[in-house]
Amino acid sequence: MSGRRIEIAPSILSADFSDIREAVGQVEASGAGIVHFDIMDGVFVPQITFGPKLVKDIRPHSSLVFDAHLMITSPESQIDRFIDAGCDYITIHQESTIHLHRALTQIRNGGARCGISIVPSTPVSSIVPLLDMVDLVLVMTVNPGFGGQKLIQSCLDKIVQLAEIRKAEDFDFLISVDGGVNLDTIQDVVAAGADIAVTGSAFFDSDDRGAFIRKMHELALESFS
Catalytic status, residue 178: yes
Cα–Cα distance, 22 to 26 (Å, whole number): 6
Catalytic status, residue 38: yes
Partner touching 193 among ligand DX5, Zn ion, none, CB below 5 to 8 Å by kind: none
Partner touching 179 among Zn ion, ligand DX5, none, CB below 5 to 8 Å by kind: ligand DX5
Name the site residues for Zn ion (rule: CB under 5 A).
Answer: 38, 69, 178
Partner touching 51 among ligand DX5, Zn ion, none, CB below 5 to 8 Å by kind: none
| Catalytic residue selected from 38, 41, 67, 135 | 38
User: Of the two residues 201 and 223, which places its CB atom closer to Zn ion in the complex?
Assistant: 201
Cα–Cα distance, 27 to 136 (Å, whole number): 21
Nearest approach, Cβ of residue 167 and ligand DX5 (Å): 27
User: Of the two residues 68 and 83, which places its CB atom closer to ligand DX5 in the complex?
Assistant: 68
Name the site residues for ligand DX5 (rule: CB under 6 A).
Answer: 11, 13-14, 36, 38, 69, 142, 144-145, 147-149, 178-181, 198-202
Nearest approach, Cβ of residue 222 and Zn ion (Å): 25
Nearest approach, Cβ of residue 3 and Zn ion (Å): 27
User: Of the two residues 62 and 224, which places its CB atom closer to Zn ion in the complex?
Assistant: 62
How far apart, in Å, are the Cα atoms of 197 and each of 26, 51, 193?
Answer: 17, 23, 11
Q: How many CA atoms lie less than 13 Å away from 124 in the CB half-sphere?
A: 18
Are 178 and 138 within 8 A, CB to CB? Answer: yes
Q: DSSP for 42-111?
A: SSSSS-B---HHHHHHHGGG--SEEEEEEE-SSTHHHHHHHHHTT-SEEEEETTS-S-HHHHHHHHHHTT
Nearest approach, Cβ of residue 118 and ligand DX5 (Å): 12
Q: What angle do CA 134, 157, 92 make, to 5 degrees?
A: 30
Are 2 and 31 within 8 A, CB to CB? Answer: no
Ranked by CB distance to ligand DX5, the top (closest) residue is 200
| Catalytic residue selected from 67, 135, 178, 195 | 178
Are 205 and 17 within 8 A, CB to CB? Answer: no
Tell me which residues are annotated as active site. 38, 178
